[in-house]
Structure 1
Amino acid sequence: MRSTTAARLAVALATAGAILALAACSGGGTAGSASSSDGTIASGTLTVGSDLTYPPYAYLNGTTPAGFDPDVTRALAEQAGLRVTYTDTRFEQLIPGLGAGRFDVIASDLYVTDERAKQVDFIPYFTTGNSLLAATGGSFRPKTTADLCSKAVAVIKGGEIVQELRGEASDACTAKGAKPVDVREFDTDPEATEALLSGQVDAQLTDAAVAKAIVTKTSGKLTITSSTIIYPVTAGLAVKKGNTKLKATLTKALAALEKSGAYAKLLSQYNLSEAGES
């Protein structure tokens, strides 16, 4: 999940080393096109692109990928009889990286949108939404996006909420004679949180599960001020457009996890709902 943040020849060597260090199994991150029987770039290995700066969805526990998306993809890979490896990539570079053959699938709390569906094939896997964060001791306590007019709001670069805030939310502000939302994009979610803690912005809008983790991590210095989920949306695993083999492999594996009850337990652990539920 981010460009490396821009995504996630000394630089090339360093990148290669990082990918190897993050691999749950050896192999993985090589560019190419899916040609194996299961639709993966490297036969027998599922290479996952994820922004590992985004707890609780995806982050590094030492050098090991952890969180909901690594848990899901490990379970899917095991169900499908595949090994799994991870390529840490900043959020806005995930779709370009998938298209360039750097990895097989994106698992990074990627919201399903019509625009993205033109670029990738989705496998919906859970429903989420967003929450607003503000300084606990501050006077500004926004409950909805209607409270954000003229305010500086930190968001992750490349996220769908950037367009929502600059579009619908800002249009509503100007329609009532107020200034639009001042949307500040950051390469990673932790950078957005730091901007809020340092007073560079007035609020942060981020995934609801992430917001809960931020409140805990900041020892209560920040608080969730929104009372309901903002922009509820379905998230999807994404495979390269036209990769029907891998989509079928992962869809079958997900269905098996759902049938066994293992997936429901995993969703419950992270306080998430199945795709299509609210």
Structure 2
Amino acid sequence: MHILNKGLSPLLVILLASGLIACSSKSEPKNAKETTQDVAQVFKVGSDITFPPFEYMENNKPEGFDIDLMNGILKKGNINTNFIDTRFTNLISGLESGKFDAVISGMYITPERLMRVDMIPYFKSTESVIVLSDSTYIPKVRDDLCGKTIATQKGSLFPDQLNQISKESCITKGKKAITVREFDTSPQAVQAILAKAADAQYDDTSVARNTVKKLNQKVKITSTEPFFPFIGGIVVRKGDTVTYNHIEDGLQKMKQSGEYSSLIKKYDLIAPTDEEIKVFMDHIKDKK
């Protein structure tokens, strides 16, 4: 259950200003300018805009699935969106400190994150391994990563997953450990492969497919194992039910109108079913 904070959430201020929530109080704000529509109807969204197809910069503008989805959700309430490009490692702390009103950045839902924030499920995926197209190294399953240098994104779950694979599939079997190289962004991890500073890259499957297309087949996906299937979520502050319910309501409206399905198809992503979301969230909550 989500419990409303004692203070007004940023979205509550937005909704009050836009007339979406009725208020019986007759008191005037201390500074009327702070509640005008021009100020209140800008919703700050944190996102690491280096993660195509979820979010990326094109012609100096944020583009991608997450960008289109969040714009569509908030448009339902006539709210403008200001995306703030922030590295992945700082997104949740930025949300907690009030820098953002919400976060959308292809972020996995985990028990640890749900201890700090609330998350609204909206896509599913898994991970893939990328190598140079002319590489003689063709990793397919976990054991194939042993003894290799694997590039991945810092702050994501990928380093922990690789270390888990290294422990369970390599070290316990007497094989060499995986050397995990962490980079601030996914594109930087890709560059490590191109520069032959890493044997392979470990990334979200949707992002990996996008990388292959973007680099004109200079790299390829070789893995055949799904590794760690997951569901991703839009992130709001813990207990901020106004923001949570507004975003969830907007998401449901986009699903009903067919806009969500169109975006899933456009960006070649996978939509979880209601049953998959329920099973996944029940499983996650059992681990909290």
TM-score, normalization by structure 1: 0.84
Tell me if 1:255 matches 2:252.
Answer: yes
Aligned mate of 1:213, from 205, 210, 213: 210
Secondary structure of the corresponding residue to residue 85 of structure 1: strand
Aligned mate of 1:144, from 141, 145, 151: 141
Q: Please say if residues 39 and 244 of structure 1, whose CA atoms lie closer than 8 Å, have aligned partners that are also in contact.
A: no
Mapped partners of 1:186, 1:93: distance in 2 = 14
Give the match for residue 66 of structure 2: 69
Tell me if 1:233 matches 2:230.
Answer: yes
Give the match for residue 267 of structure 1: 264
Give the match for residue 41 of structure 2: 44
**Which amino acid letter does the alignment assign opposite residue 36 of structure 1?**
V
TM-score, normalization by structure 2: 0.81
Give the match for residue 178 of structure 1: 175
Mapped partners of 1:79, 1:144: distance in 2 = 44
**Which amino acid letter does the alignment assign opposite residue 202 of structure 1?**
D
Aligned mate of 2:81, from 81, 84, 87: 84
Give the match for residue 118 of structure 1: 115
Cα offset, 1:131, TM superposition: 0.9
RMSD: 2.0
Aligned mate of 1:98, from 77, 84, 95: 95
Aligned length: 247
Tell me if 1:135 matches 2:132.
Answer: yes
Please show how residues 152-171 of structure 1 align to structure 2 within 5 Å: 152-171=149-168
Mapped partners of 1:211, 1:164: distance in 2 = 16
Deviations 1:46-91 (Å, cap 9, x if unpaired)? 2110111111110111211001110101101111221111100011
Mapped partners of 1:97, 1:38: distance in 2 = 22
Q: Structure 2: which 5+ runs fail to align? A: 1-7, 18-34, 278-288
Q: Please say if residues 142 and 169 of structure 2, whose CA atoms lie closer than 8 Å, have aligned partners that are also in contact.
A: no
Mapped partners of 1:272, 1:107: distance in 2 = 15
Cα offset, 1:192, TM superposition: 0.4
Secondary structure of the corresponding residue to residue 205 of structure 1: strand
Cα offset, 1:146, TM superposition: 1.9
Q: Structure 1: which 5+ runs fail to align? A: 1-31
Cα offset, 1:38, TM superposition: 3.9
Q: Please say if residues 139 and 223 of structure 2, whose CA atoms lie closer than 8 Å, have aligned partners that are also in contact.
A: yes
Larger CA Rg, structure 1 vs 2: 2
Structure 1's 98 and 39: CA in aligned 2 closer, same or farther, altered over 3 A? Answer: farther
Mapped partners of 2:15, 2:88: distance in 1 = 26
Deviations 1:207-242 (Å, cap 9, x if unpaired)? 111111111222211111012433111000000111
Secondary structure of the corresponding residue to residue 220 of structure 2: strand
Deviations 1:149-191 (Å, cap 9, x if unpaired)? 1110001001112111112443321111012211110001111
Mapped partners of 2:265, 2:94: distance in 1 = 30
Q: Please say if residues 142 and 165 of structure 2, whose CA atoms lie closer than 8 Å, have aligned partners that are also in contact.
A: no
Mapped partners of 2:245, 2:252: distance in 1 = 10
Q: Please say if residues 38 and 246 of structure 1, whose CA atoms lie closer than 8 Å, have aligned partners that are also in contact.
A: no
**Which amino acid letter does the alignment assign opposite residue 47 of structure 1?**
K
State percent identity of aligned pairs: 35
